Amino acid sequence: MGVPTFPPELWEAVIYEVEDVESLKACSLVSLIFRPPSQRILLSSFTVTTDNCDAACKLLAENSRVEQYISRLTIEDLRDIMVSEDYRESLSQFLAKLQNVRICTLVGIWYQHVYSSFQEKSEIPKLILGFLSHQTLSELHLSHLYIGPAILGGFFEVVPSITLHMVDVKEEEMLTSAFPLSASRPATVRSLAIVSSGSVGEFLASLQDISVSFPALQHLSIDSTQIESIAWARPLVVALSHTIKHLQLDCPKYVGWQLPPTFSRLPVLRKLQFSFADSRLAPQAKIEYISATIATMSSIAPLRMTPALTDLVIRQWVGDNDVDMTLYLPLMATLEATFANRDAPPRIHWVFAHYEEESVDLTQSAHGVRHGMPTTRDAGRLAISVRTPSRIFGRADRLLSTL
């Protein structure tokens, strides 16, 4: 009996399910049929730094297919582009061949002086801005950067999904540089994540008619991990309340930062998510943040505030062992009581997030969740799972197990 012949699309579908890089490398060596889809996945995500830029240029020169494969590009060491002519020249040659980048990550460097609080912050070089203007991006991730309002508004205008991690808005340009968005020139961004970028939040909350400028925004994520104050969060959410369908609030990891505020009516909100860095929180800190979440939940969850709510996600980062769920019992009781009077209560997803690929034993933790929400459990509205971030950039978290 001969070896069965399967269509290439089937092999590609099978290979796409492979998560780790070493297995993908092995698949690329199996046969000529396996090589193109394996290489396409391996090379779809590409990171350029000062150390590998020359090698990247050589790779593109030797294999013309590679430039077609690269759809997710990360550029690091942005500050070195401005100070190193060799890096700037090599990167320019590399970028000139790329035409299919859909997801781009830019990583700058903040130099923290040892004996001072002064920071030297990276900007986005003109070379990179010119490159981005010729790509049709679906996602843009900016990290450790200093950016002007005009450039920031330009990204909002054309990129559907944007993540800002430790990004600062240039204060000196807030008054001199016009923000380009308006009712006649609105943003197209549908998903915005503000991660430890307090000045961005303050800037956006200060804009007049922000709801008119951001008519398409449906997903807003606020991570206050390294922000001293998030007083801007409430006015920002209120201003965008008529379009937000997915709101995500990540609680700080450390004691001393501002707790999540309460919000206003969100008429089209369908998904609400809270995250806890459980493995890094001391017991007293957990109590503080759980109490703050209960206050926020009590203001958002009632039917009159979120009539369209269908899903509530509690994302709990855990270590290697079972977690004592006793501290979370007040939160569970609040969820039970808040949704008791709804004709169609939302489904509650309790997600234990874990960085290791091997599934950890969280049986007792899951039992604690079920014990704390008996009504939700008996109604079949409680889903408990363990997930881990995918090692392939751009993919959704991988399900390790359901409990």
Identify the weakest region by mean pLDDT among 43-47, 69-73, 146-150, 395-399: 395-399
- State yes or no: pLDDT of 268 exceeds 50: yes
pTM of the model: 0.86
Residue 313 backbone phi and psi in degrees, to 5? -115, 125
Structure tokens given for 197: 């970028």
Q: Which of 144-153, 175-184, 254-263 has the highest mean pLDDT?
A: 144-153
The alpha carbon dihedral of 374, 377, 382, 387 has a sign of positive
Decide: 191 and 162 in contact? Cβ < 8 Å. Answer: yes
Per DSSP bridges, beta strands 119-120 and 111-112 are: antiparallel
pLDDT at 368: 93
Rounded distance, CA 145 to CA 142, Å? 7
pLDDT value at residue 283: 75
Confidence (pLDDT) at 255 = 44
Q: How far apart are CA 19 and CA 41, in angstroms?
A: 10
Q: How many other CB atoms are found less than 10 A from the CB of residue 298?
A: 14
Return the bridge partners of 74, or none. Answer: 47, 105
pLDDT top residue among 68 and 172: 68
pLDDT digits (tens, 9 = 90+) for 320-367: 666 778 889 999 999 999 898 888 999 999 998 887 766 677 888 899
Of the candidate ranges 55-59, 142-146, 388-392, the one whose mean pLDDT is the lowest: 388-392
Q: By the 8 A CB rule, do 223 and 260 touch? A: no
Q: Which of 125, 73, 124, 80 is nearest to 95 (CA)?
A: 73
* Cα–Cα nearest to 169, from 134, 140, 205: 205
> What's residue 278's pLDDT?
63
Crossing angle of the two packed helices 35-44 and 8-16, in degrees rounded to 10: 40
The tokens describing 186, both together, are 């609105």
Q: Minimal CA–CA distance to 160: which of 108, 241, 93, 104?
A: 104
The C-alpha R_g of the chain, in whole angstroms, comes to: 23
Top mean-pLDDT range of 120-124, 202-206, 387-391? 202-206
Question: Averaged over 308-322, what is the pLDDT?
Answer: 85
Q: What number of other Cβ atoms are within 10 A of residue 45's Cβ?
A: 19
